[in-house]
Chain A
Amino acid sequence: MSFGSPYVTLPDFTYHRPTTIEEVLKILKEHGDEAKVMGGGVGLLAFMKERLMSPSHVIDIKGVKELGGADYVPGRGLRIGASVTIAELCQNDLIQDKFTVLHEALSRVADQMIRGRATLVGNLCEAIPWVDSPPALISLDATVEVVGPGGRRKVPVASFIKGPVDIDLGPEEMVASVEVPDVSGMRSTFEKFTSGSEFSLASIAVTLQSQGRKRTARVVYGAVNSTPVRCQEVEQVLEQETSRASIRRAADTAADKVECMSDVLASSDYRKHLVKVVTTKALGRLLQK
Chain B
Amino acid sequence: MRDLALMVNGQSRSLRAKDNLLLLDLLRDGLEVRSVKAACWRGECGLCTVLLNGSLVKSCLVLAAEANGGEVTTVEGISEGEKLTPIQEAFVEHGATQCGFCTPAWVLTTHELLKANPNPSEKEVEEAVGGLLCRCGTYNEIREAVADASKAYAKARKSIVQRAR
Give the residues from 40 to 62 in chain B that come closer than 8 angstroms, CB to CB, to chain A. Answer: 41-43, 46, 49, 55-58, 60-62
How many residues on A have C-beta within 8 angstroms of the other chain's C-beta atoms? 31
Closest to A12 in B: B20
Give every chain B residue within 8 A of A17 (Cβ-Cβ). 65
Contacts between the two chains (Cβ within 8 Å), count: 88
Complex Cα distance A283/B34, Å? 49
One of B5-13, B72-80, B124-132, B151-159 contacting the partner: B124-132
Binds A, one of B21-29, B87-95, B96-104, B138-146: B21-29
Question: Does B65 contact A15, Cβ atoms closer than 8 Å?
Answer: yes
A117 interface residue (CB < 8 Å to B): yes
Nearest-neighbour CB distance to chain A for B120, whole angstroms, equals 13
**By the criterion CB–CB under 8 Å, are A42 and B127 in contact?**
no
Q: Is the CB of B58 within 8 A of A114?
A: yes
| Contact of A112 with B by CB under 8 A | yes
A113, B131: Cβ atoms under 8 Å?
A: yes
Tell me the dominant secondary structure on chain A's binding face.
loop
Which residues of chain A are near B2, meaning CB under 8 Å?
15
**B18 engages A42 (CB within 8 Å):** no
Interface centre among B26, B61, B127 (most CB of A within 10 A): B61
A10 within 8 A of B: yes
- Residues of A1-28 at the interface with B, using a CB-CB cut-off of 8 Å, are 1-5, 7-15, 17
Q: Binary interface profile of B, 97-141, with partner A (CB < 8 Å = 1, else 0)? A: 000000000000000000000000000000110110000000000
Q: Is the CB of B63 within 8 A of A15?
A: yes
A85 to B23, CA, bound (A): 19
A41 to B63, CA, bound (A): 9
Known: A4-B22, A5-B41, A60-B66. A116 touches B61 (CB 8 A): no
A45 is an interface residue with CB less than 8 A from chain B: yes
Smallest CB gap from B21: residue in A: A4
- Having A3-B29, A45-B63, one finds 13 other A-B pairs with CB under 8 Å, namely A4-B20, A8-B60, A12-B19, A12-B20, A13-B19, A13-B20, A14-B19, A15-B19, A41-B66, A42-B43, A111-B46, A112-B130, A114-B58
Nearest 5 A/B pairs, CB to CB: A111-B131, A3-B29, A8-B41, A15-B19, A10-B20
Which residues from chain B sit less than 8 Å from chain A, CB to CB? 2, 16-22, 24-26, 29-30, 38, 41-43, 46, 49, 55-58, 60-63, 65-66, 127-128, 130-131
15 contacts between A and B (CB under 8 A): A1-B16, A2-B18, A4-B25, A12-B18, A15-B2, A40-B61, A41-B66, A45-B61, A62-B66, A110-B131, A112-B56, A112-B128, A114-B58, A116-B57, A117-B61
Chain A residues in the interface with B (C-beta under 8 A): 1-5, 7-15, 17, 40-42, 45-46, 49, 58, 60, 62, 110-114, 116-117
